[in-house]
Structure 1
């Protein structure tokens, strides 16, 4: 069946005038997929999504075809696009892989902290504040974009672009179906505040502390957030 939207069912953040429209549409839809606002088994029409985004259908079709190449959606010829389902086992494996990559990498960032990182950490504090604002206002599409930006930029301080690329891919394929329930309960704001603590631990060069917080933060996606989505 086609998705029928009413106010509040699927909310997109306003697109800016900067950058490629196709890229902006792709990231907006990707965030909707990850946050669970677009669900497996539902047929999504490019014209309907385009109307919600306030753009023509062309960049939406282009974006959906890009996402199809990544395996996030499937093309239903002459009908629309179906969201690809992700199994619980796949989600567990992606979460485990992220732990293996991100925990030691974040620890290494703390261990190597120096004044040369200050400008980037200042920018990360701005992103963390925007994240908290998005969580407080239930702007989940913006939240997903900012959350990815924060973690990718933090990991980039280590200097290994391959790790950043792999983590971006894993995040793009994940599903966080409990995100909406957490936002409604106010608990999303609490976990979001962990981002600012990560920065503080890096500045303190507390490798063990940052690794432990990163591990706790990442496990939210398969424990706290997943449980919220099932209630």
Structure 2
């Protein structure tokens, strides 16, 4: 989506801290934390990460603000993955920086094991890369990569949207208005991570009308990659950019309801190009 100047002082923008946006439950007692860590230690041999990941050195690592919530054992890996994805979009995991699983685990109040598992998933997605004996480095991306992702998205989404414009009835498009309105509310917060989540939800709902689950997965992966920060934090969208991007969702729905194919083509092309 659009990238612009970031406004860290804008109301609604969370203080820079890892995992600030995810809503994860607070662990009630310190004894539970100790029991959880002991259980993770007993199962460590079953969940061993890839060779070269263990033994990260943490003495020179840049400190990260400790998050207020502490993750409970249920769905730990999934909650950590969601938190790391949000931190990545919010810019709290900086491109080029190396983060170790033990240090991140300490911030979340869990063992290093679920953090390594979540980081391995991010490595598969291309967000981070393994640094042997140190941890994981956030991949450095530039404007050219973002432009390439925008081009691929346009190649996929424009013909798909034109087909949907001719076949999906108006009442089905009208059902998506609450999702478009949700993106506008998210944009008004000025929080990049909050907007990214609602933006993906809208686009996935639109493309799901094709009935092609593989298409939705591929498009979602491309969309997620386009939201990762660039080197130096360049092109981070400001509140006005997010609002303009959200307004395009409503305009697109209006064109789809009216079956204005040429307007749909123009809006989708501009929307995808805006990600560069």
The two structures have a TM-score, normalised by structure 2, of 0.65
1:111 matched residue in structure 2:
166
2:238 to 176, 179, 182: 182
2:6 matched residue in structure 1:
none
Alpha-carbon separation, structure 2, partners of 1:220 and 1:115: 26
1:88: how far off? 3.5
Alpha-carbon separation, structure 1, partners of 2:75 and 2:258: 38
Q: CA RMSD in A?
A: 2.9
Q: Which runs of 5+ in 1 are unaligned?
A: 1-5, 223-231
Alpha-carbon separation, structure 1, partners of 2:216 and 2:18: 29
Alpha-carbon separation, structure 2, partners of 1:59 and 1:127: 32
Whether the aligned pair in 2 keeps the contact of 1:176 and 1:221 (CA below 8 Å) is: no
Alpha-carbon separation, structure 2, partners of 1:110 and 1:16: 39
Aligned pairs for 1:26-175 within 5 A: 26-34=81-89, 36-46=91-101, 49=104, 56-57=110-111, 58-114=113-169, 117=172, 121-122=174-175, 124-174=176-226, 175=228
2:10 matched residue in structure 1:
none
Alpha-carbon separation, structure 1, partners of 2:106 and 2:158: 41
Alpha-carbon separation, structure 1, partners of 2:105 and 2:189: 24
1:36: how far off? 4.2
Whether the aligned pair in 2 keeps the contact of 1:75 and 1:81 (CA below 8 Å) is: yes
Q: Any idea what the Cα deviations from partners look like across 1:16-75, whole Å, max 9, x if unmatched? A: 67x9443343234234434544222112244554566x5624433321111112221112
1:201 matched residue in structure 2:
255
1:141: how far off? 1.4
1:112: how far off? 0.8
1:95: how far off? 1.2
SS in 2 for 1:193: helix
| Structure having the higher Rg | 2
1:210 matched residue in structure 2:
264
Alpha-carbon separation, structure 1, partners of 2:109 and 2:207: 33
Alpha-carbon separation, structure 2, partners of 1:149 and 1:27: 15
Change (3 A) 1:35 1:215: farther
Looking at secondary structure, tell me which structure has more helix per residue: 1
1:227 matched residue in structure 2:
none
Q: Which runs of 5+ in 2 are unaligned?
A: 1-13, 26-73
Alpha-carbon separation, structure 2, partners of 1:44 and 1:27: 16
1:110: how far off? 1.5
2:273 to 197, 207, 219: 219
Alpha-carbon separation, structure 1, partners of 2:258 and 2:75: 38
Whether the aligned pair in 2 keeps the contact of 1:42 and 1:82 (CA below 8 Å) is: yes
Alpha-carbon separation, structure 1, partners of 2:76 and 2:264: 36
SS in 1 for 2:159: helix
